[in-house]
A and B are shown apart, each in its own frame.
Chain A
């Protein structure tokens, strides 16, 4: 468990944040720019001292202003991957990778050189200079360098922010592989919900220097606070389920969600894989009875758990689909016409193409035992 309770004043900006991140696991610090994410990261790794508070990783007190404890950065064994990679320009990729490794000689080994090179696909880059690398390659090297310093915790400060969207695919799959293969806990800073959806197990929402919500990604996806950060269009329940059937030729897979089944338009998943999807509230249609004759492939039966105000002309309906909750945004006019009320049985309809599936963990994982998504 990483627990952070800190206060820091930086000019007009006041950070006053407290959260706990389960270890192992990937905790996303999510918020708009200027919400205090990077300040928190700097405090956790020790580059910045809080005015007041405590940072504790498992049994180790890293910072405690009351007791006057503050372990210097270089002795914390916390790996950092910065937005701008910060590779040493005067060293080759190999030199960069070795930099942290040689200085971590006494630390309990977490991962070996060969493993890092294989896991991050660095073999062809070892003799290269940082300035000859693409943005994605740079971040992979930075990741490898941080891992080889044998960290107890890995902090990733928007590692994809300075890479253009197309090149992010050069890094994201590697991050997923790290999460699934290693047991190093990670804190991942991002302002892209897509990244959170793909990587995080746990989510901490930050706004104006304060934690406004925290919990598992699925839990926080239902919280109204999220809308303030991602905007109304990206509001939607995150659901996690196991792939029960795959049809490779037709390009779909069936995902068990609560008491129902969602059909996903994905090709590269195997039966048994854990998959996470987000059903955007604006894409969910409500029906008060089961209907046929529709091109919609997905109909999840459930009951209305709550109807909450959303925007001026719409409401957000929470539908309990046998455990998990699905969010649907409907107009107030439709709410009135259908006379929707709490407890009412309804069907949530979603087009299968509107699902963006993310393999969260592959079945029969050959790597060392790691965490299971919460």
Chain B
């Protein structure tokens, strides 16, 4: 690829992959937990929580990024506490870009996992109970394996979507080359600079290719894992 892509383009590609991967890793366990809570638990305010989880789907990404700034900015209580007690700084960092991406693709992930959970036959969990499996044991030995195809498909889709997250990232983490300048940010920058047409075309094609690959991979993985778990 060296001949085709410039070092800056490669850097953007690498960053995009890193940010997307980190975002999925962050959000996967939380998404599984929330999907479970939203599907199985009955409590006051469930509808509100459900709506809140889906908010990034309908909000302008810039608004999400701005909200993150208000919450995690270094001068805010939460951001300040994080910096002094854990050393974690989120705004204008790769970790921050990953967080913004995670929040944006979170609804996608939760929806896919919920769908997977709803497809798990409660009769199988009942059978596990009669065989002596307690709740956590049951979840890890029956429910989770049967959800796996859906979880993986959701993860790959969220990863593919995360490669292209723009608004929330640029608002919360800014456009720092080598730190937060992912593919879409690099593409935007190239389009804004005189003589950047060639680079812009490169990056656009690359994004297109990555997205396609991601979706194909999600489909292939789902089929493969579904066969593996015997469904």
Residue ranges of A at the interface with B (Cβ–Cβ < 8 Å): 45, 47, 72-80, 82, 84, 86, 88-91, 99-100, 103-104, 129-131, 145-146, 149
Contacts and interface: CB of A to CB of B under 8 A. Distances in A.
Query: B interface, how many residues as a size bin?
Result: 20 to 34
Nearest to B132: A103
B132 A100 contact: yes
Contact of A103 (B124, B131, B228): B131
Contacts of A78: 130
B129 A88 contact: no
B129 A74 contact: yes
Query: Of B126, B127, B141, B142, which is in contact with the most chain A CB atoms at under 10 Å from its CB?
Result: B127
A26 to B, nearest CB: 19
Nearest to A90: B229
B229 A89 contact: yes
Given A99-B141, A130-B230, A80 B127 contact: yes
> Interface majority SS on B: helix, strand, loop or mixed?
helix
A88 B130 contact: no
B130 A89 contact: no
B134 A74 contact: yes
B130 A45 contact: yes
A73 B128 CA distance: 10
Contacts, number: 68
Nearest to A89: B230
A76 B129 CA distance: 10
B231 A149 contact: no
A99 B15 CA distance: 44
Contacts of A149: 130-132
B116 to A, nearest CB: 13
B145 A90 contact: yes
B123 interface: yes
B130 A73 contact: yes
A99 B131 contact: yes
B131 A145 contact: yes
A329 B128 CA distance: 49
Contacts of A82: 123, 127
A113 B85 CA distance: 55
Interface string B22-60: 000000000000000000000000000000000000000
Interface in B155-206: none
Contacts of B228: 90
A79 B130 CA distance: 6
A306 B4 CA distance: 102
A78 B132 CA distance: 9
B133 interface: yes
Contacts of B113: none
Given A74-B131, A77-B132, 8 more contacts: A73-B130, A74-B134, A80-B127, A88-B124, A89-B231, A90-B231, A146-B130, A149-B131
11 contacts: A73-B130, A82-B127, A90-B146, A90-B229, A99-B128, A99-B141, A100-B132, A103-B133, A129-B230, A146-B131, A149-B130
Nearest to A106: B132
B150 to A, nearest CB: 13
A88 B142 contact: yes
Query: Of B126, B146, B229, which is in contact with the most chain A CB atoms at under 10 Å from its CB?
Result: B126
Contacts of A75: 132
B11 to A, nearest CB: 41
Given A88-B142, A99-B141, A47 B126 contact: yes
A131 B230 contact: yes
B179 to A, nearest CB: 42
A238 B142 CA distance: 44
A138 B231 CA distance: 15
Nearest to A129: B230
Contacts of B131: 74, 79, 99-100, 103-104, 145-146, 149
A145 B228 CA distance: 21
Q: Give the 7 A-B CB pairs with smallest separation, nearest first.
A: A103-B132, A89-B230, A100-B131, A90-B229, A86-B127, A73-B129, A80-B130
Nearest to B231: A89
Contacts of B229: 89-90
Query: Of A89, A129, A130, which is in contact with the most chain B CB atoms at under 10 Å from its CB?
Result: A89
B146 A89 contact: yes
A90 B134 CA distance: 19
Nearest to B229: A90
A74 B133 contact: yes
Contacts of B134: 74
Contacts of A104: 131-132
A45 B123 CA distance: 13
A67 B129 CA distance: 23
A185 B66 CA distance: 66
A73 B127 CA distance: 10
A31 B137 CA distance: 36
A131 B229 CA distance: 10
A86 B129 contact: no
Contacts of B124: 86, 88-89
B129 A47 contact: yes
Interface in B62-84: none
A100 B141 CA distance: 12
